[in-house]
Amino acid sequence: MGEARVCLITGGGRGIGAAIAHRLAAEGHRIALTARSAGQLDKVAATLPAETCTVPADLTAPGAVDDVFTAVERRWGPVEILIANAGAGTSAPIPRITDAEWQSMLDLNLTVPFQCVRRALPAMTAAGWGRIVAVASVAAKRGEPYIAAYTAAKHGLLGLVRAAAAETASTGVTVNAVCPAYVDTPMTDSSVDAIAATTGRSPDDARATLERKQPIGRLITPEEVAGTVALCVQNGAITGQGINVDGGAVQS
């Protein structure tokens, strides 16, 4: 176990964010969790084997990112590990995507991570050490039908990661993206419900369709994503990468 660091995880109330919190807490880091639901955050925090704090927030609200970072800094000092995990997806063919839906996907999946990275970098570069990991998607690597806004935002997120890594390569800060396929989380449950409602197929049939999108024939587990995030935190030679955790769906 290495040195304990101050870690901030966005979208930390469930799913992938909660799994990452458990993995990094087990490695001895202090864990600050943020998400919209205070109740979900409290449930996760109560199960972590590490010093933990929760900062409920809607990160898309004006000034919210700065407020969250300030709260963590007042408690423990600068954020040393940033896990930009908060995100969501919607589904519609391009002609039916409204301007508001398009903007909401960009705001949460791209602008919020940018604001978090911008806020975290000065302290990290001043200290000569930092880890930033964005949870992107295999949708950052290829075009997927009916999720154009989400796909565009995740492509942008991978571009942000690559540019930030190039800027910080000589500073002791690493910046990476982890790109999962369909993960067994509440977000995928919502996708299953949407497919079933749109097509009239059963939820089990809809879930099987998503399972088959991974060549390994199953959904990815949140713990498998968390393990890849932990690797990016541990290994200072990995930077500027978009690491696929997708059961072989995209070979790159």
The whole-angstrom distance between residue 201's C-alpha and the CA centroid of its chain comes to 30
- For 4-39, b where at least 16 C-beta lie within 10 A, e where not — what string? ebbbbbbbbbbbbbbbbbbbbbebebbbbbbbeeee
Name the active-site residue from 84, 150, 192, 195. Answer: 150
Reply yes or no on whether 146 is catalytic. no
* Residues designated as active site: 150
